[in-house]
Amino acid sequence: MIKNPIIKGFNPDPCICRKNDDYYLAVSSFEWLPGIPIYHSKDLKNWELYTHVFTEKNNIDLKKLPSSKGIWAPCLTYCKQEDMFYVVYGVMNSMNARYFDVDNFLIKAKDIKGPWSEPVYLHSAGFDASLFHDDDGKKYIVSLEWETRKDYEKPGFISIVEYDPIKQEIIGYPKPLWRGGTDRGCIEAPHLTKHGDYYYIMCAEGGTGYNHCITMGRSKNVWGPYEKDPQNPIVTSAPNNSYERQDPDHLKPKYFNPHSILQKSGHGSYVNLPNGEVYLVHLCSRPFVPELRCTLGRETAIQKMKWTEDNWLRMYDGDNLAKMQVLEPDLPTVNLPTIPDFDDFDNDTLGNFYYAPRILPESFATTTARRGYVRLRGQESRTSLNKVSILARKLTSVYAKITTKMEFFPEVPQHSAGLILYYDNMNYINLRKYYSETLHQSAISIIQLENGTKTEYTDTRLAVDDVPIFFRLHIQGRKTWFEWSYDNITYTQIGKIFDTTKYSDEYCKYGEFTGTMVGITCADRLKHQQYADFDFLEYIADEDKPVD
C-alpha cells in the first residue's frame, strides 16, 4: 500500500508527468528558492527530491515580493513528439485589492535537470496557467481568468488560448472555456488533457481550503462546450454538495470533515501508466484539531483512479473521498535516495533540500570556506523581504528535533546567529547568539515575531562564552521549545513553550499557502559581512506519527 501524503510538508499544487518509466512531479515554491522542486519516482510510492527548475542566480528575481507570492502552481508536461519537457509557471507579484497581478511564462528543456530555455512571456490573464500538447502539434494554454469587476462572479472562469511555438506567443486573447463542474465556486488549477475521443478539463473548485475538490468536464472539441461529469467532484475531503459561488473566501473552515484525516484535498493532475492504470496526485493538509491550523502547510497525496466504460475518470473504489491508504501500481519497487537526517556539511555543495526566502542559499552560504562547516554570511533582518540569510528545510512532521553546532563571534548588537522556526517574515521564533551591550559580551536569547509583533524575551538573556555552542529545537505536537548546551550532552531549556499551531496558513496574517520551515540563520545588519560557522544540522522527525 501507498501511505499518504507521499511528499510531506510544504509541497502544494502537484503536477505529474511521465517519460517512459520515470515519473516526475513539480510543486509550487512561492517565495522560496531554489524554485519549483521536481520529485522523481519509478513506482509512484518512493519519491526523491530530484532537481529544481530555478537554480541559477539570474533565473528569477523574487526579492521584495510579499510572503506567499512568487512562483505559483507550475505545470510540468512532457511532449513525446518533441522529447521535450515544458514548464509553465506564474509569478504572483501582488494580491493588493484582490487584483492578483501575475505574469505567466513558459520554459522547456530536453533534460529534466536542464538547462532550461529563456522564459517566454505568455500573458497576465490569471493564475494557475497550464499547457496542453494536442495530437496535431498544436498547443493551448488554460488558466483562471481572474475577475475584478463589480457584480461579476469571483474569482472568475477558466480561459483558453492557443500558443504558437514558432512565434513563441499566444494567438489572440484568451477565451472563456469553463465555469466549473459544481457550484462550490472558487474555480482554479485547470489542466487540459485528452483520452480517447475526448478532451478533458480538470479543475480545482471550492477554494484551496476545507471545501476543496477536483472536478472534470469533457468535450470532443478542444474549444468546448464541455459537459460536466455527473458525479463531480471526483476527489475531495468534503463530499457533501454545497453552493458557494457567491463566496470568494478560499478557506471555508465550516466544511472541515471530521471523518477524514486528509483535508483540503484538491488541485490535482493525473498520469496514465503504460499498463493502463491511472493515478492522480493532489494537494492535501493535515490540520491540528480543533484549531484547524495546518503547520505543515499543503502536502502532496496520491489516489488510484480508473477510466469507466463511459469514459469518466473515477477513484478506483468508486468513492470520491481522498484516502490515506492507496493500492500500489503494478510496477517494480525502486527505492530512491532520501533526504538525510544528519548533514555534516562535508560536501563541496549544499544539499538540494535547503531553501532560502527570495534568494538562492548559495548567495550567502558556502561549505568550502571552512571544510566540514557551512558558513553563513549575515545580511538583513529576518523580517526583510530582500536579502535574508536563512538556510532552511521543510518541516515534514510536527514531531521533530532539530540540532546544530555553531561557532559565532558577534561584535556589535546588529550581529546575531542561531536556530529558527520560520513560517514567513512576520512569523518566526529564533534562538540566537548576539552581542549584548548590557552584559558587555556575547549572550543568547529568544526573539519572536507573531503576525508582525516583535517580542524580545529579555528574561531569557544569558551570557555565554565565545566557544562552540549547541542549539536544539523541539517540536512535540502543539508544543515547541528551545534548548542549548556546551557539550551536546547536557541541554538546558531556554524560554517558554510556544504554540506550534500558530505557524500555519490559518493563523498567519501576512502570508498563506506555504508551510513551516526550520533551519539556521545569521544576520549582520551593519555591514553584511559577519559570518557564523555551523558544524552540522540534524533533523530527526517521526513522520509516521499523526497530527493531532
Report if residue 185 sits inside a domain. Answer: yes
Q: What is the pLDDT of residues 37-63, one digit of tens each?
A: 999 999 999 999 999 999 998 889 999
User: Of 189, 222, 257, which closes a domain?
Assistant: 257
195 three-class SS: strand
Torsion angle defined by CA atoms of residues 375, 378, 379 and 382, in that order, rounded to the nearest 10 degrees: 100
Question: Could you give the CA distance from residue 350 to residue 354 in angstroms, rounded to a whole number?
Answer: 7
348 is catalytic: no
The verdict on residue 276 lying in a domain is: no
Q: Give burial (CB, 10 Å; 0-12/13-18/19+) of 362.
A: middle
Tell me the pLDDT tens digit for each residue of 156-202.
999 999 999 999 999 999 999 999 999 999 999 999 999 999 999 99
Q: Which among 239, 257, 275 is the end of a domain?
A: 257
On whether residue 303 sits in a domain, the answer given is no
- All three cell numbers of 196, joined, read 480517447
Q: How confident is the model at residue 72 (pLDDT cuts 50, 70, 90)?
A: very high
Percent of the chain predicted with pLDDT > 90: 95
Residue 80 located in a structural domain: yes
- Give the three cell numbers for residue 492: 538546558
Residue among 13, 205, 343, 450 flagged as catalytic = 13
Domains: count for the chain: 2
Q: Are residues 224 and 373 in the same domain?
A: no
pTM: 0.97
Task: Assess if residue 335 is contained within a domain.
Answer: no
For the record, the C-alpha cell of 422 comes out as 520560520
Both 245 and 382 in a single domain?
Answer: no
- Does any domain span residue 308? no
Q: Kindly state whether residues 529 and 401 are assigned to the same domain.
A: yes
Q: Which of 251, 296, 354 is nearest to 503 (CA)?
A: 296
State which residues form the domain around 447: 342-541
| Domain limit, last residue, from 257, 290, 321 | 257
Of 188, 407, 450, 524, the catalytic one is: 188
On whether residue 192 sits in a domain, the answer given is yes
Is residue 332 situated within a structural domain?
no
CA angle in degrees (0–180, nearest 5) for 508-61-519? 50
Task: State the Cα–Cα distance between residues 63 and 385, nearest whole angstrom.
Answer: 6
Residue 96's φ and ψ, nearest 5 degrees, are: -60, 135
pLDDT digits (tens, 9 = 90+) for 306-321: 999 999 999 999 999 9
As a whole number of angstroms, the distance between CA 200 and CA 217 comes to 6
Q: Do 249 and 128 have their domain in common?
A: yes
The CATH number given to whatever domain includes residue 225 is: 2.115.10.20
Respond yes or no: is residue 483 known to be catalytic.
Answer: no
Q: Which residues contact 96 (CB under 8 A, 6 or more apart)?
A: none
Average pLDDT over residues 280-301: 98
Peptide bond into 5 cis (omega under 30): yes
Asked if residue 346 and residue 238 are part of one domain, the reply reads: no
Domain identity same for 407 and 520: yes
Check which CATH number belongs to the domain holding 474 and give it.
Answer: 2.60.120.200
Percent of the chain with pLDDT over 70: 100
| Whether the predicted pLDDT of 265 surpasses 90 | yes
Once rounded to an integer, what is the mean pLDDT over residues 117-142?
97
pLDDT score, position 248 = 85
